Amino acid sequence: MDALTALLVILVGLTAMATLESRARRLDRRMVRLEQKIDLLLKQADISDRELVPAEVTALARAGEEISAIKKYREVTGAGLLEAKEVVDRLKG
């Protein structure tokens, strides 16, 4: 591969990465706006976060089975580990 072809491949790769990063930033901003809207709707409807948690997760958390509660919450909602732990910690308190 000659130098010109290598340079072209690098430029195309960098352009693709910049495009993906830009799209990811736009999606992140959109997600934040959507979450804010949902939070506002829940507040106006007087619905607490606890009401959105599956009953089985709440029961496990209250029984002191934190790890099982976290696993079940992740399984049911598709949430990440940190989010699931935060939810279960709120349920215990």
pTM of the model: 0.56
Domain containing 3 equals 1-46
Helix (H) or strand (E) holding 86: helix 81-92
Same domain, 64 and 92: yes
Please give the tally of structural domains in the chain: 2
Measured distance CA(90)–CA(85) in Å, rounded = 9
Task: Indicate if 24 and 37 belong to the same structural domain.
Answer: yes
- Cα–Cα distance measured from residue 70 to residue 64, given in angstroms and rounded to the nearest whole number: 11
1 pLDDT higher than 80: no
Are 40 and 29 members of one domain?
Answer: yes
2 and 42 inside one domain: yes
Q: Which tens digit of pLDDT belongs to each residue from 34-93?
A: 989 998 998 899 987 767 899 999 999 999 999 999 999 999 989 999 999 999 998 886
